[in-house]
A and B are shown apart, each in its own frame.
Chain A
Amino acid sequence: MLKRIGLGVLLLGALALGAGWWITAPARVDASRFTGVSGDPVAGETVYWASGCASCHTEKGADSRLVLAGGVRLESDFGAFVAPNISPHPTEGIGGWTLTDFANAMLLGTSPDGRHYYPAFPYASYVRMTDKNLADLWAFLQTLPASDRVSEPHDLGFPYSIRAAVGGWKLLYANTDWVADAPTPVLERGRYLVEALGHCAECHTPRDQFGGLDLTRWMAGAPNPSGRGRIPGISPAQLDWLEADIAYYLETGFTPDFDSAGGSMASVVRNLSNLTAEDRNAIAAYVAALPPAD
């Protein structure tokens, strides 16, 4: 996944340079968009667990899933991304940000000083989040402990270290379109939890030559970014579990034959175990209703 993203970013960056910087300049949300949207930290906690911030932004091996000190290294062939400190610390974290700064980062991948974030930060999924939930999440993040841990720079070789190249990638791949149909309220909730918050496809869907998700092979499984084994497909072409089996796995990590979840999924399960059974059931309903893809 990360290798593909790197290559895609590079190619599209070359295209973007040709087309002119203006096309790919980092976008920002309208300054007035969040006036009147007030966040509720209790609802924000659900958004937090569903969207998995803790998997990348808590220190590896840390006991607490709530200290967002950063430090997880996302390895790839061309270097490593290091997730930054996003705790409410005023200087080392994002304590000095406004809700609008946060929205620019989460929905558009744009930093307060107007640079592109790399898509290793899954804003191409979070862009589908509702404004209300974004404000809720922001309110919840304020309640978490501050950490003074200094964020490390990414460890990327040239030319991947050029952020401007990400602009072209975003033009092609970051949009608010839904992928699957959701004809019932439960499926609609499931789709929101999977496609917007849970960013399941970022791992479970293979990527095209530019590093964008291949929508024709939605959830069909993909190479493991750490290079070992595969991320299994979870469309009905790969996974024949009952809906209840999927929900139980998301709660406990136990497969129907009582093997237990490993790799990066173990952390996803730890997050999802904090959701209500209704929400896990909605995710399971969405997964079970996926069209088979291979």
Chain B
Amino acid sequence: MSISRSLLFTAAFALAAGTALAGGHQGNPAVKARQSHMQLYQHNLGILGGMARGRVEYNADLAVGAAQNLATLTTLNQMSYWTPGTSTDDLGDETRALPAIWEEGGFAKAVEIGTAMAAAAQNLAAVAGDGQAAIGPALGAVGQSCNACHEAFQQPRN
């Protein structure tokens, strides 16, 4: 391989790698943050749900830990996740957050649902150590808030 050809090759490779990297890092940081937050809900719920459904053996420490994580997550300030201009109208397939969040009354409704969810998560944390049977109903109450918010503000998948 001549020097010029190998330089060309290196340049082309760098370009391709650069595009790939950019691809990996592109994306709206607010969208990524809120999706990550949701994934943490999902992860902790999964631990509790596995026990509630009898798929995984009940373990009080794990259950309480996951429920406390969930309760803590509901106390995080999410203002920077839900920046205007990051709805499905603005970003297309990159997000499933509907414009309704930023429309009249949307934010107030999200806060209302979030408040109910925080209370349900606290209750879950309080009972998660009481044995397998206590988890299911308390988990269901949290789930109602997840469903309510997704009903109002999340677009179904494509």
Contact A229 B96 (CB under 8 A): yes
Contact with A along B116-158 (1 / 0, CB 8 A): 0000000000000000000000011001101111110011111
Contacts of A270 in B (CB 8 A): 144, 147
- Given A248-B53, A252-B140, A254-B49, check contact A260 B157 (CB 8 Å): no
User: Are B154 and A263 neighbours in the complex by a CB distance under 8 Å?
Assistant: yes
Chain A 252-281 interface residues, beta-carbon cutoff 8 Å to B: 252-254, 257-267, 269-270
In the complex, what's the smallest C-beta–C-beta distance from B39 to chain A, in angstroms? 9
B98 touches A228 (CB 8 A): yes
Option from A61, A253, A267 in Cβ contact (under 8 Å) with B146: A253
Check A262/B49 contact, CB under 8 A, given A252-B140, A253-B147.
Answer: no
For B155, what are the chain A residues with a Cβ–Cβ distance below 8 Å? 228-229, 262-263
Given A232-B156, A232-B157, A258-B45: A266 and B98 interface contact (C-beta under 8 Å): no
Give per-residue flags for A235-253: 1 if the beta carbon is below 8 A from chain B beta carbons, else 0.
0000000001000100111
Q: How far is the CA of A232 from the CA of B156 in the complex (A)?
A: 8
**Residue-wise interface mask of A (201-241) relative to B, using a CB-CB cutoff of 8 A (1 in contact, 0 not):** 00000000000000000000000100011111000000000
Shortest CB-to-CB span from A197 to chain B, Å, is: 21
A114→B88 CA distance, assembly (Å): 43
Residue of B nearest to A253 (CB): B147
- A266 & B151 in contact (Cβ 8 Å cutoff): yes
Interface size class of A (residues with CB under 8 A): 20 to 34
Q: Determine how close the nearest CB of chain B comes to the CB of A221; give it in whole angstroms.
A: 10
A-B interface contact total, Cβ < 8 Å: 67
Query: Does B46 sit at the interface, judged by CB under 8 A?
Result: yes
Alpha-carbon distance A257/B88, docked complex (angstroms): 24
B42 within 8 A of A: yes
List of B residues within 8 angstroms of A224 by Cβ: 156
Q: Which residue of chain B lies nearest to A245 when distances are taken between CB atoms in the complex?
A: B53
Instruction: Give every chain A residue within 8 A of B146 (Cβ-Cβ).
Output: 253, 260
Q: Which residue of A lies closest to B154 (CB)?
A: A262
Q: How many Å lie between the Cα of A270 and that of B154 in the bound state?
A: 17
Contacts of A257 in B (CB 8 A): 42, 46
A252 vs B45: C-alpha distance when bound (angstroms): 12
Which residues of chain A come closer than 8 Å to B158, judged between CB atoms? 229-230
A277 vs chain B, min Cβ distance (A): 12
Which residue of B49, B109, B140, B147 has the most chain A CB atoms within 10 A of its CB atom? B147
Given the interface pairs A229-B96, A248-B53, A254-B49, the reply to whether A261 lies near B157 with Cβ below 8 Å is: no
Given A248-B53, A262-B150, A266-B150, A253 contacting B143 (CB threshold 8 A): yes
Instruction: Count chain A CB atoms within 10 A of each CB in B49, B143, B151 and give the residue with the most.
Output: B151
Bound Cα distance from A232 to B98, whole angstroms: 18
Docked complex Cα distance between A196 and B147 (Å): 25
Cβ A263 vs Cβ B140 within 8 A: no
- Report whether A263 and B42 are in contact in the complex, using a CB–CB cutoff of 8 Å: no
A262 near B42 with CB under 8 A, answer: no
Bound-complex Cα distance A261 to B140 (A)? 12
Cα distance, A258 to B46, chains bound together (Å):
6
Please, how many angstroms separate the alpha-carbon atoms of A82 and B46 in the complex?
Answer: 39
Closest to A270 in B: B147
Cross-chain pairs A/B with CB under 8 angstroms, 6 sampled: A244-B53, A252-B139, A252-B143, A260-B143, A262-B150, A262-B154
Known interface pairs A253-B147, A265-B156; 13 further A-B residue pairs with C-beta atoms within 8 A, sorted by A's residue number: A228-B88, A248-B53, A252-B140, A259-B42, A260-B143, A260-B146, A262-B149, A262-B151, A262-B156, A263-B156, A266-B148, A266-B150, A266-B151
Interface residues of A, Cβ cutoff 8 Å to B: 61, 224, 228-232, 244, 248, 251-254, 257-267, 269-270
Nearest 10 A-B pairs (CB), nearest first?
A: A262-B150, A266-B151, A229-B156, A260-B146, A253-B147, A262-B154, A266-B147, A258-B46, A258-B45, A229-B155
